[in-house]
Structure 1
Amino acid sequence: SFAQIFNAILRTTYFPNSWKHAEVIMVPKPKKSANDPTGYRPISLLSIFSKIFERLLLPRLLPLLSPSIPDFQFGFRHLHSCQQQLHRVIEEILESFESEEVCLGLFLDTKQAFDRVW
């Protein structure tokens, strides 16, 4: 059964190599040229067994790992948004102005870095 397989993975700490491999396919973006490389999104197709295992494991790991994640880490976290991060940055800038301290910022533009298909 699935439960026996997943329990054996946890007990032995062995994760099957075949579950680690993904087939990457390129999905065309709507209204984009097929001749333009930016007109495609790469999608990784993974083993259904690894996906089920990860879905079962995540709720058990999050309570253990969450205390180690800094409050200012917003990417890919439940109930943390870009708007909240923007608010935090603005607050830092305002506090620096009020205390007459130097405030430095580094901003990277990762165009369409987090586009998704679903």
Structure 2
Amino acid sequence: MEDKRKTDCNALRRVIKGLKPKTKSSGSIRLPNGSTTTNQKTIANAMASSLVAAEETSPQLPASSISHAEVKLAILKGKPSKALGPDGICHLHLKHVPDNCINLMAELFNASIDENKVPDSWKKANVFMLPKPGKDPTEIKSFRPVSLLSPVAKVLERIILERIRQEIESPKDQHAFKKNHSTTTAISEATCCIVGGLNMEKPACRTIMTCLDMKAAFDTISIAKLLCGLEDAIADKKVGGWVGKYLYKRKISVQYDEVKSSWLTLKGGVPQGAVL
């Protein structure tokens, strides 16, 4: 019986093999360098190389243009502030612009990113110095800077930020600059760890917390390192280039009481009050 099964299997293999179309070698194959060869080993290696190259090739899809809907949504998300930016525009103005103006803004934003050009007014900030509570009011370092930026630029910032968020996943333990997270969620999570440890059977599990206060964090950020991380994380390199153009060589004018300083060019850091 066993010999009969083997015979039947062999017969079946012969039938299947006979059904397959027979392919004839064309003899010679043209290689990528233009030459031809009949050497089977060379042909096999060339074919293998073509498959490896195909797998390694990952063409970048062109980024979609900023649409009317994106601009309109970004405007709606902004707070209806009456504070004027360096360009003399407030966000409340933008909330009342007609659709044809929104179309023009979309065209302007796309041109700014594609050509890697940022209007000078977008790179300026009116800075107000607010006194820090409990600090010596006679010391300049006792004041916290708050920047009023161009509302138009902040609309584009908001659009770019949304696109970056779609590509970059924030660490689960991060609470700052993350949607639906804040200092409240950070404190809540820390409290849960502490209480959970204390409620364990003795000996209770203790929690050790280390707190660091980064002095002048916004003002001392390395733009070069920031851009390196951004370019590694996102596919659209034009966006990374635009962010660099937007951050480098920004200008500020500080207002103290009713007096404004001269315009000064920043050497680094990022503006407080920016969406990005």
**RCO greater where, 1 or 2, for CA within 8 Å and sep 6 or more?**
2
Greater displacement, 94-103 / 71-80: 94-103
Report deviation, 1:76: 2.6
Give unmatched runs, 5+ long, in structure 1. Answer: 111-118
Percent of aligned pairs sharing the same letter: 29
TM-score by length of 2: 0.30
Secondary structure, counterpart of 2:127 in structure 1: strand
Would the alpha carbon gap of residues 49 and 95 (structure 1) be closer, same or farther in structure 2, given more than 3 Å must change?
A: same
**Matched residue type, 2:112:** I
- The number of equivalent residue pairs is 108
Larger CA Rg, structure 1 vs 2: 2
Residue among 26, 48, 59 paired with 2:162: 59
Question: Deviation above 6 Å: which 4+ runs of structure 1?
Answer: 34-37, 99-102
Report deviation, 1:4: 1.8
Residue among 195, 205, 211 paired with 1:107: 211
Report deviation, 1:84: 2.5
Query: Which whole-Å CA distance do the structure 1 matches of 2:171 and 2:114 have between them?
Result: 30
Would the alpha carbon gap of residues 85 and 27 (structure 1) be closer, same or farther in structure 2, given more than 3 Å must change?
A: closer
**Matched residue type, 2:183:** C
Query: Which whole-Å CA distance do the structure 2 matches of 1:7 and 1:17 have between them?
Result: 13
Query: Which whole-Å CA distance do the structure 2 matches of 1:58 and 1:75 have between them?
Result: 14
Once the two structures are superposed, the pairs formed by residues 1-118 of structure 1 within 5 Å of their partners are 1-12=104-115, 14-16=116-118, 18=120, 19-26=122-129, 42-65=145-168, 68-93=169-194, 94=196, 103-108=207-212
Report deviation, 1:103: 4.6
Report deviation, 1:95: 5.1
TM-score by length of 1: 0.58
Would the alpha carbon gap of residues 109 and 55 (structure 1) be closer, same or farther in structure 2, given more than 3 Å must change?
A: closer
Give unmatched runs, 5+ long, in structure 2. Answer: 1-103, 215-276
Would the alpha carbon gap of residues 9 and 15 (structure 1) be closer, same or farther in structure 2, given more than 3 Å must change?
A: same
After superposition, the C-alpha distances for 1:5-51 in whole angstroms (9 at most, x for unaligned) are: 21122223x2416222212123579xxxx87865x653312123311
Query: Which whole-Å CA distance do the structure 2 matches of 1:88 and 1:27 have between them?
Result: 31
Could you tell me whether the CA contact under 8 Å between 2:170 and 2:178 is conserved in 1?
no
RMSD of the TM alignment (CA)?
Answer: 4.0
